Chain A
Amino acid sequence: MTVDEQAMAAVFEDAFVPFVLQHHGAAAGSAVRSILGFLKSFYQHFAPDGHNESLMVFRVLEGRPAPITSGGFECTSVAEVVNKVVGPCAIQLLPSGAFMLWANCIADPIELSLSAVVYSFHQGTEHFHANKESKVIVKLIPGRSSNFALPTFSSLRDALAAYRDNMVRTSSCEILNTAWYEPTRLFFKAGPEETIRRSLTRFLKITFTGGAEVRPEQIVDESHPVDIKVTWFMTNRLALIEIKWLGKSRDVSKVKAIYSESRARAGAKQLADYMDANKIQAPVHETRGYLVIVDARRAKLTVGRTEISRKDGLKYATSEIAYKPKYHEARNDFDPPIRMFVDPICKP
């Protein structure tokens, strides 16, 4: 593998740590670390998604004047800061470890950045500001508000549930969002499997901290590629994830595929077969199977239709699948299947 210096230069260009240090000098390194450490704690208690106002966090560089000298409320803990956040806010990290909070305060990050390292969050966009310059922070998970408020999971089941609730239900993952034929999420495009797999793989790679490697499209045996394989480091545990989608896919003129409940049952059988095959390939591993059903079934959906009522669009929202046989009950290596319904955008 040769070194792709252009790709490396592109990463450098996007990176915020070198940006701050280039504009404020090496002394800003500890300020960046302080801000990142604060954000890690702050966002554990404060969800940025519901915050429509601007939020600024800054650390004044040593020997520089404080950019805001009046007002403010001193807090001694992150929990206290969280409780007092109202409207647009500016939070100064003090050298003592305490915090100064200005609630309902609109500050100019560019002005603040003359004497401080500044992080800002506004309507889902994050920046670092230094010496009157700004750098957008590139999102690692499209659809998430903040890179620093990414949930982390040590249980694969919890991670899959979060993917269902936060990324699939309203198709808020930008990767998954490209799988639809139309913006109202009625039909999938033809062959959406690879897109769905890529979306879930990326989500798991970034948020799953179970000391595991997540790889897409892994061969179980000569004829069985499973969608995603999770291998825990330094243990003998494996997880095989099989993904199936339900609903209809189409191209310009016609429906390409229709998958109903029976597709989910076939997926369960397929996964059970994978598990058996895997026992031969990886006999010393303790393997568990996870069936993920991305459910986009809509009632009365025909090619000519471009909009849908709530009644037809959400008909299957709570329609659980009856598995026969119930591998998740009959076998001890099969997790209960997880159905992820995707809401269409219904006409009002």
Chain B
Amino acid sequence: MVNPYAAFDTLYIASELTGKLHCASVADLHVFAYLACLLSLYRGQPVADWGYGFAGTRDGSPFSPELESAVRALSAIGYLHLTDDGVDITATGREELLALQQLSQNRDRVSYLEPACSSGLAMPVGVIHHALAQEPTLRPATRLAAARPLLDGPYLPRLYEQFAALGRTVGVEHQDLLIPATVWLGYLWRASEMQDQIAAGSGDPSNQ
């Protein structure tokens, strides 16, 4: 049984990324779905309301088993086209997406999915991948080199601390979630850069 939320998100993100960025990989689907989920949390929605969960891979990437199942199922029935270069939505997939967008439960999701995907216009997708790896509940997966559930456990309060600071920084008057999305990703990207500089500074001098 395919998770209906994951199926809708997969079709929506595939459509947006191929339309806006002209390319999308399966990894991108997970990243932008996770970013959309985080934006819903920023807006005060409970984690459980998203409809499906995410885990952090040991390489620091968000991964949703439900989304992965949806990609396989949608591909099998011809709504998605998977190639070596990535994923594309087919004409029948677009028709299905249009129909699903009429449902009120999905209209609410678009308010998070759309700014998440538009972030890919404002900054390179590579930057978004690397920035998200610094997200407080995802970062320990990389540091411990072990897969772990996201948006859960002792690191979750740190995420909410960041979101509180983000709200104070960008101001609550901004309704367009593209603003907190790009500012927060920019902040995490700088953290990623700083971490690399520290790693490089403590490198082994014998490697010269």
| B49 part of interface (Cβ distance < 8 Å) | no
| B110 part of interface (Cβ distance < 8 Å) | no
| B21 part of interface (Cβ distance < 8 Å) | yes
| A210 part of interface (Cβ distance < 8 Å) | yes
| B197 part of interface (Cβ distance < 8 Å) | yes
Q: A33-B121, A191-B208, A225-B207 are in contact. Are A15 and B126 (CB under 8 A)?
A: no
Cβ B200 vs Cβ A216 within 8 A: yes
Interface residue from B85, B136, B184 paired with A1 (Cβ < 8 Å): B136
List residues 4-40 of chain B with CB under 8 A from any CB of chain A. 20-23, 25-28, 30
Cβ A205 vs Cβ B126 within 8 A: yes
Interface residue from A8, A11, A36, A202 paired with B122 (Cβ < 8 Å): A36
Cβ B203 vs Cβ A225 within 8 A: yes
CB distance from B21 to the nearest CB of A (A): 7
Interface residue from B85, B169, B179 paired with A8 (Cβ < 8 Å): B169
Cβ B130 vs Cβ A213 within 8 A: yes
Interface residue from A3, A225, A233 paired with B165 (Cβ < 8 Å): A3
| A17 part of interface (Cβ distance < 8 Å) | yes
Within the assembled complex, what's the spacing in Å between the Cα atoms of A154 and B139? 24
Q: What mask results when residues 191 to 209 of chain A are scored 1 for a CB within 8 Å of chain B, else 0?
A: 1011001100110111111
User: Across the two chains, which residue of chain B brings its CB closest to A36?
Assistant: B121
Cβ B127 vs Cβ A206 within 8 A: yes
Q: A18-B174, A18-B183, A233-B57 are in contact. Are A209 and B25 (CB under 8 A)?
A: yes
Q: Give the A-B contact count at a CB cut-off of 8 A.
A: 160
Cβ A216 vs Cβ B122 within 8 A: no
Within the assembled complex, what's the spacing in Å between the Cα atoms of A134 and B129? 29
Residues in B whose Cβ lies below 8 Å from that of A7: 187, 190-191
Residues in B whose Cβ lies below 8 Å from that of A11: 183, 186-187, 190
Residues in B whose Cβ lies below 8 Å from that of A226: 207
Q: What mask results when residues 147 to 167 of chain B are scored 1 for a CB within 8 Å of chain A, else 0?
A: 000000000001001100110
| A73 part of interface (Cβ distance < 8 Å) | no
Cβ A215 vs Cβ B199 within 8 A: yes
CB distance from A258 to the nearest CB of B (A): 14
List residues 170-228 of chain A with CB under 8 A from any CB of chain B. 191, 193-194, 197-198, 201-202, 204-217, 223, 225-227
Interface centre among B23, B27, B158, B191 (most CB of A within 10 A): B27
User: Across the two chains, which residue of chain A brings its CB closest to B175?
Assistant: A26
Within the assembled complex, what's the spacing in Å between the Cα atoms of A5 and B187? 9
| B124 part of interface (Cβ distance < 8 Å) | yes
Q: How many residues of A contact B (CB 8 A)?
A: 59
| B125 part of interface (Cβ distance < 8 Å) | yes
CB distance from A334 to the nearest CB of B (A): 19
Residues in A whose Cβ lies below 8 Å from that of B158: 1
| B73 part of interface (Cβ distance < 8 Å) | no
Within the assembled complex, what's the spacing in Å between the Cα atoms of A226 and B200? 11
CB distance from B138 to the nearest CB of A (A): 11
Interface residue from B126, B133, B197, B206 paired with A208 (Cβ < 8 Å): B126
Interface residue from A12, A14, A216, A234 paired with B57 (Cβ < 8 Å): A234
| A29 part of interface (Cβ distance < 8 Å) | yes
Residues in A whose Cβ lies below 8 Å from that of B30: 233-234
Cβ A140 vs Cβ B183 within 8 A: no
| B2 part of interface (Cβ distance < 8 Å) | no
Within the assembled complex, what's the spacing in Å between the Cα atoms of A209 and B25? 8
Partner-A contacts on B (CB < 8 A): 20-23, 25-28, 30, 57, 59-61, 63, 85-86, 118, 121-127, 129-130, 133, 136, 139, 142, 158, 161-162, 165-166, 168-170, 174-176, 178-179, 182-184, 186-187, 190-193, 196-197, 199-204, 206-208
* Interface CB pairs A-B, < 8 A, 29: A1-B158, A1-B191, A3-B165, A7-B187, A15-B179, A18-B170, A21-B179, A26-B176, A33-B118, A36-B118, A40-B20, A40-B121, A41-B22, A44-B22, A140-B124, A152-B125, A194-B201, A198-B196, A198-B197, A205-B130, A211-B61, A213-B59, A216-B196, A223-B206, A225-B204, A233-B27, A233-B57, A233-B129, A234-B30
